[in-house]
Structure 1
């Protein structure tokens, strides 16, 4: 029977990507001056797990990098080498290389072999830079496993011999077995290279470690008489107190042993903190509250997104069927059909609960997006010579998977712009009476049926006069009497930029218009608040999901359309005196001293209407990007929640239509693309 290995490869790829992301998060949060042993061990375990998986599947390029990486990490976590900022930079560079190699195996993308070689040489130079343990006055970092201690009292001694093994593999074997205890190497006349291993592990553990590298027939493991070294004997005597005294460590209560560590950090650092904080140029002390959840066992399972989408589609069909039943039973006598109507009502409640539960499966925490920014902020701030403290709030706030993947690029543009254009250089901030460290925050919160995401900085703010001058130079229709919110919206104009110098970070004006267009396509809106000298806040409001929509049913002729409620301001029946004709430009309607363009939907979709005179029909006032218009329809049918179906993938793109749904009577109704309709009028 042939085993399909592709499924196992995919599991490894997914787990490796998660481990790399976790490793980066730990590296960005580690306190270089006093690293937490748990963090160092977690980083080491991530590298070791990736190496084990890569070796299992024969991905030697990844296992080679992770082997050197974990050798260096092992020295640091054992206290044999002090952690430095250069180490952290090298570890982050290695993470990028491993991600590139992972994508190369999974997606077939190119791998820069020169970059791989550079990182390997960098890591190797660190490994070979200090061969002897440093003598330190402070206690060494306490490892998680007893086998990690360099002067441990071991209980077993094994001779592990290898035949027909390459020199590079022997070096790798020595390093691997070194993780289990203390090793020395020997070479015999028979051509066998041997490793003497003092350990607490069993023979099966040794065999399992070596089997990743050599075949069993080229390896023998024999037990040796255990001879305790002087260093181990000294440790043993210290632990026993020479038979007369308690061990030194036990003479002090745990509180006293930890007194120095407990006083590290200011009172502000000891207080509760947001979901995550990363500072470029410094690494704050991690809080105990962040570590407590690290050891919790995972209670999740990995399920393919196509299976979730299939369930959501089936639930959508169930919702439609339930709506049909409800409509069919509306005309029944409630007395003679009481039990049937009660059952239908019960089905309606259960369907709604099931629909909400299934939709929640597709929801993902915003941490999926937020977690990629600390590294970017750190690197970009260092590149620009700025100091930036990055803070996130509401990382556990959930958003539909389809939206969460599409919001990454717009947020990336906004964060980069805040660092490049918003936050000033440290010297400038000091001259203006600010802290030299700028603050950039990213937050997410639920408000009703929407999620509100804010990118906020305490930089210099937007320059009103500079924006207006650039807008006039670009030929935009502006005036000095425009309000601040209207001026701020000018930065979203295509090609608009006030940057004096074009850099590879930003400044060509090719990003902000794309940001707004992408957000608008997701049914969201963007708002800007700014104060000169105090900073800028950009707010994005998005619907929680695009799979289900709150809509208003409107009738045009014999057709029923769904108008998304998020765009609706109000509906009214106009008076004839409020409708004016503009020669060659169509009609407008006066609503509270404001003239709005009047859009007859029967003309847009070429339908025979019930009413031609707007005074006999209904106008629905809609708003998109701060611009209003009036849609002329025949009747309002009602308000309901609809399941959105993608019409473009099943048929073709239709101007003015964003999707379709199935009504309770089984008929198909189109969902209006309000933004596209208003653009066509303009």
Structure 2
């Protein structure tokens, strides 16, 4: 049987197990390790080892085998856990990830790295083992029968829907877990009797790499020649349960000893037992992203077709065509529900992103000599998969900045009357059709005077009376940094401009809130998905444009006295004490026959990067939910336009890129908004 087709499943599941392992290692309380967490870490390593052995990934198998032995000692309290050991365990997890990626790329893992990590793990096994602690006397009666072989059980394994050619290979794989006493193949079903000390769940987990869970049934045999063994195992389990109850009341009585593995593993696993593989497999289905994207595109086309039909039937007589109009209304509801259901498939929880940062915060804080607590809020908040993968790098840079520049050293915090332990908060929440992501710290905050001084020395034209919001936006300028010295963490002024650009490319914007001496908050606002957009359609001349609804603050009509000119050319409008630059869309896109009188058109107040400016349009058409089509793929990049969509009448409407329009406005003025406002005054 060719098992290479199951490689991808193994790689994905092993990657999930490694991520879970890292998460659990970071959560461990070294003073009082949780048995369930230790058992879960051990099971993850054990499952990876079994899968690696099945597929012939020898280096990965040998590394996890050594790692598994140490984890087994740790969960039986034979290994004293400390920060050094956890650091080495995390390094081992990184090494396992590298080995997994090597096999994924059809390469052999680095042999030097393999030797190094194995040597380190063996050294830990020799130096850190608590060999001098005697096993409690109360636990001795339980250990004796297990050492005599009561841990061996007879398992009946039934594999269905098999071809005869698959039987030999599967029998060999199952033989790795013990001794095959009997095997029989009939009616596409393979029945195997196996003597093994391995848990049935672990054997099933490995088989699930090559078979569907519905094909696998494993149960412990009762009666027959193996009845004495089964009875002995049951007796040991019963005695172990009683001892476990005593141990829970008196932790000091927990058994130790090199031979305790077989007896303790089943009992310690029981509280943390997970749902069976068949149940989890039936509840979820792995589908490639390409297939999901194809379905989303087809549903988008369906929605466009539905809009066309709806527009066609608008002029029909409801009395004569009542049944047709009723059907169209039902089609509209069903298409909308289908669209939302399909889009939800691409949604992933922010937990996928946030789980990457405990390790980063721990390592970087230790490197910089800081004490930092990471708090995450809103991990269940959902975001489109395409966006959630692209937001990781910007968030990583913001977190590193908060740790390096924001949160002070413990001694400095104490001198300022703060807690030695700094607090870094990652939060996510839905806000209308957007998601709001914040990176907050209780550190030193931004220094306005230092930023202004750096801006002036860099030749950036600014005014001393600009607002704090505009000052904070200066740190997004390329090459801008107020760090006193460059480190390998940050200080070169590279990164924040990339953060801003990446977020703008995702249709969002970033703003900063800061209070000197108390901390800073970087806020990122993103649309929930890039496939569908809530927008307002506006008309300029005979052209229709779509303006993202989240960028619109209000729409107004202005009077002549509210219009001013800067340098005799560019126009600004006065709205409630604030001067806003005016972008006339007909000039940006050279639209003929458009409204040129500002007082006769509609002025849309929009926001970008936390700043406001005005757009002049001829007419508001209405609010729509449109399917976004990539313009660069189908045509080319157009300045000021982010994408396109197909309207109900079959025409193409351009979706405006609000940040780009603001940049166009700045280029036309050749100055910052603050200078424009100063010129008006």
Relative to the length of structure 1, the TM-score reads 0.77
Residues 433 and 550, structure 2, Cα contact 8 Å, conserved in 1? no
1:83-120 per-position Cα deviation (integer Å, ceiling 9, x unaligned):
33222111111111111122222246896543332212
Cα RMSD for the two superposed structures = 3.9
Residues 647 and 660, structure 1, Cα contact 8 Å, conserved in 2? yes
Secondary structure (helix, strand or coil) at the match of 1:614 reads coil
Quickly say closer, same or farther: Cα 1:7–1:647, change in 2 above 3 A.
farther
Query: What residue in structure 1 maps to residue 96 of structure 2?
Result: 98
Quickly say closer, same or farther: Cα 1:346–1:507, change in 2 above 3 A.
same
Query: What residue in structure 2 maps to residue 330 of structure 1?
Result: 314
Secondary structure (helix, strand or coil) at the match of 1:498 reads coil
Q: How far did 1:365 drift?
A: 0.4
May I ask how many residue pairs the two structures share in their alignment? 586
1:115-140 per-position Cα deviation (integer Å, ceiling 9, x unaligned):
33221210122234478854257799
Query: What residue in structure 1 maps to residue 42 of structure 2?
Result: 44
Query: What residue in structure 2 maps to residue 524 of structure 1?
Result: 508
Q: 2:637 aligns with which of 653, 659, 682?
A: 653
Quickly say closer, same or farther: Cα 1:465–1:602, change in 2 above 3 A.
closer
Q: How far did 1:488 drift?
A: 2.3
Secondary structure (helix, strand or coil) at the match of 1:620 reads strand
Quickly say closer, same or farther: Cα 1:104–1:412, change in 2 above 3 A.
same
1:6-58 per-position Cα deviation (integer Å, ceiling 9, x unaligned):
53111111111111101111111112232222222211221122122222222
Q: How far did 1:577 drift?
A: 4.4
Query: What residue in structure 2 maps to residue 498 of structure 1?
Result: 482
Query: What residue in structure 2 maps to residue 66 of structure 1?
Result: 64
Q: How far did 1:304 drift?
A: 0.6
Quickly say closer, same or farther: Cα 1:628–1:65, change in 2 above 3 A.
same
Query: What residue in structure 1 maps to residue 86 of structure 2?
Result: 88
1:560-580 per-position Cα deviation (integer Å, ceiling 9, x unaligned):
111111222222333344444
Residues 79 and 141, structure 1, Cα contact 8 Å, conserved in 2? no
Residues 661 and 669, structure 1, Cα contact 8 Å, conserved in 2? yes
Q: Distance in 1 between matches of 2:139 and 2:421?
A: 31
Query: What residue in structure 2 maps to residue 632 of structure 1?
Result: 616
Residues 146 and 152, structure 1, Cα contact 8 Å, conserved in 2? no
Secondary structure (helix, strand or coil) at the match of 2:315 reads coil
Quickly say closer, same or farther: Cα 1:657–1:421, change in 2 above 3 A.
same
Query: What residue in structure 2 maps to residue 32 of structure 1?
Result: 30
With 291-300 and 395-404 compared, the bigger mean Cα shift is at 291-300
Query: What residue in structure 1 maps to residue 248 of structure 2?
Result: 258
Quickly say closer, same or farther: Cα 1:342–1:82, change in 2 above 3 A.
same
Secondary structure (helix, strand or coil) at the match of 1:615 reads coil
Q: Distance in 2 between matches of 1:33 and 1:139?
A: 24
Residues 320 and 664, structure 1, Cα contact 8 Å, conserved in 2? yes
1:315-345 per-position Cα deviation (integer Å, ceiling 9, x unaligned):
1111111111211111111222222212211
Residues 147 and 199, structure 1, Cα contact 8 Å, conserved in 2? no
Residues 80 and 129, structure 2, Cα contact 8 Å, conserved in 1? no
Is the aligned partner of 1:115 residue 2:113? Answer: yes
More helix by share: 2
Query: What residue in structure 2 maps to residue 475 of structure 1?
Result: 459
Q: Distance in 2 between matches of 1:431 and 1:177?
A: 65
Q: Distance in 2 between matches of 1:457 and 1:260?
A: 41
Query: What residue in structure 2 maps to residue 416 of structure 1?
Result: 400
Query: What residue in structure 2 maps to residue 9 of structure 1?
Result: 7
Q: 1:449 aligns with which of 416, 428, 433?
A: 433
Relative to the length of structure 2, the TM-score reads 0.78
Q: How far did 1:69 drift?
A: 1.0
Query: What residue in structure 2 maps to residue 555 of structure 1?
Result: 539
Residues 555 and 635, structure 1, Cα contact 8 Å, conserved in 2? yes
Query: What residue in structure 2 maps to residue 388 of structure 1?
Result: 372
Q: How far did 1:405 drift?
A: 0.7
Query: What residue in structure 2 maps to residue 321 of structure 1?
Result: 305
Unaligned runs of 5+ in 1: 158-175, 182-197, 210-224, 229-234, 241-245, 263-290
With 324-333 and 102-111 compared, the bigger mean Cα shift is at 102-111
Which runs of structure 2 are paired with 1:70-469 in the superposition (5 Å)?
70-107=68-105, 112-129=110-127, 133-136=131-134, 153-154=150-151, 250=242, 254=245, 257-259=247-249, 298=280, 299-469=283-453
With 368-377 and 514-523 compared, the bigger mean Cα shift is at 514-523
Q: How far did 1:64 drift?
A: 2.1
Q: Distance in 1 between matches of 2:591 and 2:244?
A: 85
Secondary structure (helix, strand or coil) at the match of 1:302 reads coil
